Structure formats: C-alpha cells, structure tokens
Amino acid sequence: DHAEQALEILRREQILLVISDWRMPGMSGIELCRQLREDPEFGQPYIILVTGQSARSDLVAGMEAGADDFIAKPFNSEELRVRLQAGVRLLRLREESERRNAELAEAYRIIQADLSAAAQMQRALLPVSASPFPQLDVASLFLPAAEVAGDSFNFFPLDERHLAFYHIDVSGHGIASAMLSFKVSRFLTPEVGAITLRRRETTPQEAHAPGLPGNLVAPHEVVATLNRRFLEKDDCTHYFTMVYGVIDARSGSGVLCQAGHPHPLIRDRHGKMRTLGEGGFPVGMLDQVSYESVPFSLAPGECLYLYSDGITECRAALGGNEFGLPRLQDLLANSSGEALAGNVDSLRRELLNWRGHSPLQDDVSLLAIARVASATPR
C-alpha cells in the first residue's frame, strides 16, 4: 500500500516486475516510477500502473515517468493475467537481448585483440633500423587508415654493396588486403628464405638488367615471379601495385620495376623533381603481362621517394580537395636542405594538418632512400 515500503523491498531483492497503484498514501505511483527509472540500483523492472485515470494527458505523464503498461480500474483477473504474460515475454526478450549483446561485446573484444596482434606482426615487417650502408640514408612514413593496412615496404642488403627495396599497396581495405600485404612482404623478406627471388645460385654469362651483377635477379623478374605465383592462387581476389628495386650503395646506380604503382620521384640536390617508370600492370590482375626494369642513378645529395596513392588522394577536412601530386612534389622539393628524417616528418605533419580530424580513407606510406652528400663513387 505504501511506495516507501515497496522501495525498501526492491532494494533488498531483485524484482523484475512491479504492479503499482496510481494513487497511494504518501508517494504516488508516478513518483515511484520516476525513482525506479532514475536509480540504476533497481535494475529497470517492468512496471504496470493501475489507474482510474483515463485522460490522455494522464497516460502520457505515466509513460514519461517510466510506466511500461496500464490497467484501468475496474479490471478482472483475466486482464491482469494477460498483462502479466506480456510483461514476462518482454522481460525474457530483454534478457536474451542483453545476453546476446554481452556475447557480441566479447566477440568484438576478441576481434580487436586479434587485430592488434595482426597490426603488431605487420609493423614488425616494416624497417626499424637505419640503412646498412653508410653511403645511403633511409626514412619512412606509415599512417594506416585502419588498425591493419594494405601498404607495406622494406629494404635489406643483398650483398656487400647492393640494397634491395620495395613498396607495396594492396587494393581494397581491411583484413583481406592486410593479409595479402603481409604475404607479399613475407615472400620478399630475407629471413623467410625466399632468397631465390633476389639471388641466383648460378651466375649467367650476361646480366638481365644493365648495371646489375648477374647473380642478382633483375627487378622485373622478381615482379613477374610474384605475378605468376599470385595468379595461381584461386582464392586471391585482390591485386596489388608495387615498386621493387636494387641500388648500388657505392656508385648510386640502380634498377627498379614499377607495377601499377605511383611513379617514383627523384629529388636532386637543388630541389628539382623528376619521375621514373612507365606505369606497368598491377600484380595479380592479368596473366602473361610483361614488366620492365628501369635504370636510375642517385648522385650524392639526391633522394628517391616511393609512396602510395593514399598520399596524393588524401582529402582535406575542409572542401574535400585531394592533396595531389604537385603539392607532394613542392613539399619534397622545398625541404631539400633538411635531413631526410626531417624531410619525411615535415610531410607527415603536413598530411595530418591537411586531413584535420577526419579519418584517413586510405593507407598513407612512403619510403625515401637518399645518397648522402659526402658519398663518392668507388
């Protein structure tokens, strides 16, 4: 009969369904509803309000206070039974919904943990050390659009004077793209034992790329081998663009293959930019396509840039304009006097300012290889 007594019982016990009269001594049924809804201690029970009020405004007031259902006076036992059954069904549905939400939350937690582990594995394949040759300086930029990325890059020595390098951008986004990027990187990483992709067991009489020793596989052969391997996999639904190359740390001469990737850029010591390559076909898209090795040379003070289209296609937070290749070239050219790490960091800051607080729509990555200004041919 008293709402205060009901509150004491509700605090002691877990009550799932409450039937309350509208008018009671002391606290009214409306006030009781408000207290039950405002205090999480009561666990949000199902509330049926018994009332003789019939005006629409009174019913609206009861609903706003937190009542789930109404029984008008006078009522019979059958009507009460039906109302109680309806309340029990809704409580069971709510319990089932809460259980499923808890399961989904746990599944989401597990997925996030797996993604974090995958991201750590992916980052472990990215270069973490400086150039193995004193004649070359290397810096990089990596801003994934999601926890795992389709972009990847690395560099590693092939012998006492040659540095191999690559930059990969897998089509699409998400886990499938990241897994393919991881797989390609594993093919090219020295520790995995895929040395036949880059070194020959026997040296042919003639080198397959000008300026490259015969025991080193030409970049276009490496890319062609990857294209065949990934086209053989029926479950491979993604393709990727890439640049793979080799540079002689002592002379600065190099060879690279561009496979559908943005054109590599070379900045000279005066800040003038030039592009390399003819475009080429992405890897894993078409069978029986040919790839070419393109020679290049870095003089002391010059720098080679490999980058993903996530940089040039990065959209501004205001207006949605793309960052664009001219802006990228201008930024790299105007920072020619900086150390390479500072040069790349300037690009990172500029891109972050450009996109503002909006999320990246694509992975952003860049690999820069510079020939130090003091280097001399030997």
Q: pLDDT, tens digit, for every residue of 82-123?
A: 888 888 888 888 888 888 888 888 877 776 666 666 666 666
Report the distance separating Cα 198 and Cα 196, nearest Å: 5
pLDDT at 195: 47
Which whole-number Å values give the CA distances from 239 to 43, 122, 180, 222, in the listed order?
53, 18, 9, 16
Sign of the alpha-carbon dihedral angle for 144, 148, 151, 157? positive
- If we measure between CA atoms, which residue out of 98, 83, 2 comes closest to residue 47? 83
Percent of the chain with pLDDT over 90: 29
Residue 131, classed as helix, strand or coil, is coil
The pTM of the full predicted model, rounded to 2 decimals, is: 0.70
Q: pLDDT, tens digit, for every residue of 152-161?
A: 899 989 888 9
**Confidence label for 243 from pLDDT (cuts 50, 70 and 90):** very high
Cβ(70)–Cβ(48) under 8 Å?
yes
**Confidence label for 378 from pLDDT (cuts 50, 70 and 90):** very low
Sign of the alpha-carbon dihedral angle for 199, 202, 206, 211? positive
More confident residue, 313 or 62: 313
| Other residues' Cβ atoms within 10 Å of the Cβ of residue 291 | 21
Q: pLDDT, tens digit, for every residue of 354-369?
A: 988 888 888 889 999 9
Q: Cis omega (within 30 of 0) on the bond before 204?
A: no
pLDDT at 199: 63
- Range 33-37, long-range pairs (CB < 8 A, 24+ positions): 33/62, 33/65, 33/66, 33/67, 34/65, 34/66, 35/7, 36/10, 36/66, 37/65, 37/66
pLDDT at 167: 94
For the chain, report the end-to-end CA distance as a whole number of angstroms: 101
